[in-house]
Structure 1
């Protein structure tokens, strides 16, 4: 048997793994269990290296973001043992690659303890002296096709990355990506090279504990694939206080240019950089980066080659044009070549440059832009997936299939009576993708070209229509919560015909008028709703496990409770059943809170403004219709009332305008819509999510305190007086830290007192409501009362509109009867108005055509 020492007497090693002790007592690793210095890490690495021995062996390592896996990885590299890095937690990949490559040593966790299983004392393979690392070409799969990387590849790419990122020994990077993924591994390598720290964790950025550890570890950077940035939007990253964060890196797939620009601009605001990067496993990790100062102005570009690397463009017949072609990379980080069996481990360098498979162009400013793809590889949720490998795997199970990447999902076309759930499970295990990213098309037969080869273009077209004989099977909730049914529910409540499983409530234009009904209907269906359900795609809404009877406890969002309580207080005080006032002013704050939640989303600017105008119409039209009907039948209202400007001209009898609240809310919303329609203002509110509404609140104090003596304060219900309450509610929704929530609370305590002369309890009610809105997301509530609260909250505007015509006609009756009748009539009008809207929508569009994707 021929071993390494027969080829070369000197064992190659990786300097950054070998020289850990040079960094002394600097902090190397931070975990939730404590810290480890470089000196301590080096000692553990040296001990493990001694156990691995001096005879080179192939070490299969189940990669994980924990100290044990890190130590084995560094020990193997420092002692010259090639590492075959596989995804930890993926038993199928572990078994598959163990069978395919017969490693000499297997390092993996077993029942919570790390074990190093020495299967033989000398290698069964011929290992080339330069071979240092083997990574899968397809992310988390068990594909036997591996990338062969050398010691020089790892060192050169780590040095290149550390150079253009400007990594300092004081930096501390969080491991937001898996160790077995070349992008995640490059973060580890480049920071160890510079003696920087690693905040080592397997937690998701969607987990609050991740951010607690990041702050405690004084994290200065983290890496993200496009899906990571989706999660950042959901968890309110823009409002987080991260005082040590210097920069964020992005790779692993294309992030939409508008999102690149948005995150870059936010970074400029908060004093941090965004590095957009481009790479492949075959280049160890990185090939290009976009200088952060260009991210906002050139977000569509991948940038320039990393230090030490270079690009050229090879002409491609399908992509003619000047400075356009297939992107080819050359540099010291280009792999040795591929391995498809153990016999390939003896090979040295078989490639000198890397054809990326991407079609690119070089712009006049010297930046490269990727504009297309030559091959069928797809990046889905940051994982590089080979659809042909998936086809091969399914064929082994006796399932003929056509697979391709489409958008952010893998499409699998099969035939006959195939079990879509079984297929999805097989593919998820093969690729490491979540089931929600796998769509199964069950066809009567697979489309073929005349040559007999699969017709992938036809399969792609089938993903966009509902051709007879095609059944779309998508992973999603079960037990009465099928995605198709959820899509129909969204279409029904939101009057939309374009609902897909990728749609979200806010993305479809949902607002506070439809939110309560939608949340209650969904909670009945799913059993529980996450706090950010209104921003989640339908496909991600899953049923909660059924709890034990003793654990069944229902909660209702505080905003819903405040709307319900406020409308009861408004009507009750008008009837003089009780004298608790302030409900309408509290509703203005809730309106600002809901405005921020439903209209200040990550959608395109134009779409957000359009949805806002639609919501404004949803308030104005039912109000005008009702007032017109009453005016037609009685003489109660004037033209000024009908046209909703009575607060401007005043009532003839000098009384308080009946609909001052609706007029004030409409004027405020129109003013905000006009303000945010200005792109510069919209960018400001995105950059200063909390500061912007607080600035508007401060501006509103001019009329709140009548600082210019315009006399607006003489008419309390005037729209000119109350905008500060709306802005404060807006700020409450954007308060992402306890300090910001405290600022909102203090602002309410400081500005509400004195607004109502000699009515301190009115002010107490408003302040207490603000405090609940800011500090208590939901309130426990019995099921029956939660349903009642939901109905009243949904119909609150309609109750406010109609109660003036109900309770005066019942003044001779018991006041409670007048209250209940007013509430019931308003709820009835709400139901009628909603049905009328849906009927008009149905007449216009015939029927909702829900397209399930």
Structure 2
């Protein structure tokens, strides 16, 4: 691709020279360079002419981009912080006391001028400050000059051949040096940015890529796992020219495979190597060499150079980089902002070798930093965070396996892991917490970090029985008995997934409340009593728990939500055959809200919406299919029933057309919640204040419970408040909050149905899921209880056609007969989605 020589001299802030060329492309429209320049100029005026320290809470939105360009253009040193990491944001505000804080929450740029001038002595070359340790809030920052940014942008644009017709999708955060380099290098050449905060696993992301003609996107190693999951290799993307990869080492076999995929599909793979201290990039592997030399980082970028300094006692030396993009130096306090250049070359801390063909290969690391999911994590800072939480800990880790944390004494390992995952912005599966009696130490008293790292190693397989040891002498060794080694297979079978990995969790594998039941029952049989947060723990962690001590037990323990679902389902069928009257359907709405908050409110906004949509489909598809059959076989239902619209357009009087009211109301509630959380600012509010958000939503839904407001809808809101009550239970993470939810239930449920027994049932059920971790169940009924709970929706659907046929045999037979039919329909619906692809595969193979 030929590049206009004038473009190679342009800076990324010289926007107006590109005129009406498209600069920013979103799903909603296009902004030209001239329009972008005008917006930047407006913010430049708002920031003033006196140089001040500006902190920007960055998001992947237009206002963040405008604010960044305005600060750099006007010469204000800018401290870039991820907006979605409030702990890191607060830490850096406290440490550096910026003069101005910019944020874009709420859809517009907010300028918080903390003082009229500045209290800082700011070096003339200082342009940008970026954290060295991802999102931990470490006060150690990299000091970058305007020249650093411009030189690196031009160098990257040169070896990628970026031209005015290129358009890059913004797959990485602007607060991350890799993501920012994509912005700078494209703006420097008058190219376009396809602005989005969607994940690559979101189908809408690929719609935007196609509609806006994106020619490239940036990826970290974890991104390629996600690309495999969505079938990227077979996507038709005619505009795609190349993919860049950095942010950690991608396994050589994956580099080779993806490079070959690109050759086959018509795009290039650029493997790159960089560091925040070098602005972004130091090396790249030419695409035509990637498949042949997948383990190397390539050659130095234009304008840069490498050398290897030998290290005594080691076979490989330290990789040292020189170039105009090397930082000015570090800052660890506000006083350091006055410093000029203190670093002239970058000692990477990586051990490397140079091949005879000139390609460099990194052989290992010397530092206490690791890159996990594309984020650079300071292991020492993680230890300090844990110390602040009252935990004595040692932290080790690797780029490939995530963090391995040993915590001394008795703590809630699951809670610590969740807090760290949120604070660091890491996937929950990448944070492994292991409780130990004492931290492993060397003879010198220092922490034995290799021993910490070994805590994550899978348990050794059991030794082969000797001739003197009878086989299957204990229950766990008998054929057919599942144990820890079967955990991955149990996940795969219960979730219908063929891609279960050690780092996956129930949530990341898109589990929902229906699959939760069957999976938890089998895991409990294989591992013994499960921790309350097992659905957030990785497959590898669960498999490493060891086999339970087997002894004949007459009582098993299951979660209250599972037992209540099973019992409530049987009671619903019994009530309809008039065996006895004990109304439990409304309790199921409480349990549905409880499970929704546990399983559907994790991960990114796009990830949440994807899981919610899939969970909704698992309710809608089998319901619509069965009701359509019932419509054909009987005269009891209407077309409105098939489309779950009877509550909207059906008769007001209670007829057979209201048989499926429960399914309709549940779908209405789930659709309403999905629509609510699709609003970005509400999604952000729920993440920041999960319990307060649930209480606020409960207050709103209680308006319809007490008939204060009539929304004009047929039925959803009178049950919506029960759903939100269950939601609040799941978010009540302390005794005080659980007490509050219990009191609210005791105050609001009575009088809601004019049926004291139904109201007591709801309150007692809510108190059970709030306060009781496990309920005893006869061991012989454990698996049956799990089946009934997992198939509760399907039993509810099918019993309307089954029990009239069985009623001549008596109501008891009718109730008992309905249960296996519903379980069978559940099993069929689980089997079909995998059976059809497997049949097609066999046909093609034959």
* CA shift for structure 1 position 784: 3.8
Contact 2:85 2:423 in 1 (8 A): no
2:426 is aligned to: 433
Is 1:547 the counterpart of 2:579 in the alignment? no
> What does the per-residue CA deviation read over 1:656-711, in whole Å, with 9 as the maximum and x for residues that have no partner?
xxxxxxxxxxxxxxxxxxxxxxxxxxxxxxxxxxxxxxxxxxxxxxxxxxxxxxxx
Structure 1 counterpart of 2:144, from 146, 149, 153: 149
Secondary structure (helix, strand or coil) at the match of 1:255 reads coil
Structure 1 counterpart of 2:405, from 402, 408, 412: 412
Is 1:168 the counterpart of 2:163 in the alignment? yes
Is 1:33 the counterpart of 2:72 in the alignment? no
* CA shift for structure 1 position 795: 14
Structure 2 counterpart of 1:58, from 38, 42, 53: 53
Is 1:179 the counterpart of 2:174 in the alignment? yes
Structure 1 counterpart of 2:125, from 127, 130, 133: 130
2:439 is aligned to: 446
Contact 2:273 2:283 in 1 (8 A): yes
**Residues 504 and 391 of structure 1: CA distance in aligned 2, closer, same or farther (over 3 Å):** farther
2:115 is aligned to: 120
Pair member with larger Rg: 1
How far apart in 2 are the matches of 1:21 and 1:792?
Answer: 59
> What does the per-residue CA deviation read over 1:202-259, in whole Å, with 9 as the maximum and x for residues that have no partner?
1100001111111111100000001111111100111111110000000001111111
Is there any run of 5+ residues in structure 2 with no aligned partner, and where?
1-8, 461-480, 503-510, 521-536, 543-560, 563-589, 597-614, 630-819, 840-846
2:807 is aligned to: none
> What does the per-residue CA deviation read over 1:119-146, in whole Å, with 9 as the maximum and x for residues that have no partner?
1121110000000000010112211110
* CA shift for structure 1 position 466: 5.4
1:316 is aligned to: 311
Structure 2 counterpart of 1:382, from 357, 362, 374: 374
* CA shift for structure 1 position 791: 9.2
1:839 is aligned to: none
Structure 1 length-normalised TM: 0.57
**Residues 556 and 266 of structure 1: CA distance in aligned 2, closer, same or farther (over 3 Å):** farther
How far apart in 1 are the matches of 2:415 and 2:830?
Answer: 41
* CA shift for structure 1 position 499: 10
**Residues 795 and 283 of structure 1: CA distance in aligned 2, closer, same or farther (over 3 Å):** closer
1:625 is aligned to: none
Secondary structure (helix, strand or coil) at the match of 2:11 reads helix
2:89 is aligned to: 94
Is 1:357 the counterpart of 2:349 in the alignment? yes
How far apart in 1 are the matches of 2:179 and 2:485?
Answer: 40
Structure 2 counterpart of 1:347, from 339, 344, 369: 339
Structure 2 counterpart of 1:422, from 399, 415, 429: 415
**Residues 111 and 29 of structure 1: CA distance in aligned 2, closer, same or farther (over 3 Å):** closer
1:297 is aligned to: 292
Secondary structure (helix, strand or coil) at the match of 2:109 reads strand
Structure 2 counterpart of 1:786, from 819, 825, 830: 825
How far apart in 2 are the matches of 1:172 and 1:791?
Answer: 42
Secondary structure (helix, strand or coil) at the match of 1:547 reads helix
* CA shift for structure 1 position 788: 5.2
* CA shift for structure 1 position 785: 4.7
**Residues 377 and 173 of structure 1: CA distance in aligned 2, closer, same or farther (over 3 Å):** same
For residues 215-614 of structure 1, the aligned pairs below 5 Å read: 215-320=210-315, 324-406=316-398, 407-464=400-457, 491-492=485-486, 505-506=498-499, 522=515, 524-525=517-518, 538=539, 547=592, 554=618
Is there any run of 5+ residues in structure 1 with no aligned partner, and where?
1-13, 468-486, 510-517, 528-535, 566-780, 801-853
How far apart in 2 are the matches of 1:351 and 1:317?
Answer: 24
* CA shift for structure 1 position 435: 2.0
Secondary structure (helix, strand or coil) at the match of 1:56 reads coil
> What does the per-residue CA deviation read over 1:62-81, in whole Å, with 9 as the maximum and x for residues that have no partner?
11111000000000000000
Structure 2 length-normalised TM: 0.58
Contact 1:289 1:306 in 2 (8 A): yes
Secondary structure (helix, strand or coil) at the match of 2:143 reads strand
> What does the per-residue CA deviation read over 1:529-551, in whole Å, with 9 as the maximum and x for residues that have no partner?
xxxxxxx984799x999537999
- Aligned residue pairs, count: 526
How far apart in 2 are the matches of 1:55 and 1:794?
Answer: 63
2:67 is aligned to: 72
How far apart in 1 are the matches of 2:156 and 2:830?
Answer: 57
**Residues 241 and 128 of structure 1: CA distance in aligned 2, closer, same or farther (over 3 Å):** same
* CA shift for structure 1 position 262: 1.1
How far apart in 2 are the matches of 1:795 and 1:244?
Answer: 33
Greater Cα offset, 376-385 or 97-106: 376-385
CA RMSD of aligned residues (A): 3.8
How far apart in 2 are the matches of 1:181 and 1:93?
Answer: 14
* CA shift for structure 1 position 451: 2.3
Contact 1:17 1:77 in 2 (8 A): no
How far apart in 2 are the matches of 1:331 and 1:205?
Answer: 33
For residues 563-712 of structure 1, the aligned pairs below 5 Å read: none
Secondary structure (helix, strand or coil) at the match of 1:326 reads strand
Contact 1:503 1:538 in 2 (8 A): no
* CA shift for structure 1 position 414: 0.7
2:190 is aligned to: 195
**Residues 784 and 458 of structure 1: CA distance in aligned 2, closer, same or farther (over 3 Å):** closer
Contact 2:351 2:365 in 1 (8 A): yes
Contact 2:501 2:539 in 1 (8 A): no
Secondary structure (helix, strand or coil) at the match of 2:391 reads coil
Greater Cα offset, 393-402 or 234-243: 393-402
Secondary structure (helix, strand or coil) at the match of 1:216 reads helix
Contact 1:436 1:540 in 2 (8 A): no
Contact 1:502 1:538 in 2 (8 A): no
Contact 2:429 2:538 in 1 (8 A): no
Contact 1:504 1:537 in 2 (8 A): no
Secondary structure (helix, strand or coil) at the match of 2:592 reads coil
Contact 2:136 2:382 in 1 (8 A): no
Contact 1:502 1:537 in 2 (8 A): no
* CA shift for structure 1 position 427: 2.0
How far apart in 1 are the matches of 2:299 and 2:271?
Answer: 11
**Residues 351 and 793 of structure 1: CA distance in aligned 2, closer, same or farther (over 3 Å):** closer
* CA shift for structure 1 position 507: 6.1
1:842 is aligned to: none
Contact 1:68 1:114 in 2 (8 A): yes
**Residues 215 and 307 of structure 1: CA distance in aligned 2, closer, same or farther (over 3 Å):** same
**Residues 540 and 44 of structure 1: CA distance in aligned 2, closer, same or farther (over 3 Å):** farther
Secondary structure (helix, strand or coil) at the match of 1:195 reads coil
**Residues 539 and 171 of structure 1: CA distance in aligned 2, closer, same or farther (over 3 Å):** farther
Contact 1:491 1:499 in 2 (8 A): no
Secondary structure (helix, strand or coil) at the match of 1:448 reads coil
How far apart in 2 are the matches of 1:280 and 1:146?
Answer: 13
1:81 is aligned to: 76
* CA shift for structure 1 position 503: 13
Secondary structure (helix, strand or coil) at the match of 1:357 reads strand
Greater Cα offset, 414-423 or 248-257: 414-423
1:681 is aligned to: none
How far apart in 1 are the matches of 2:48 and 2:830?
Answer: 71
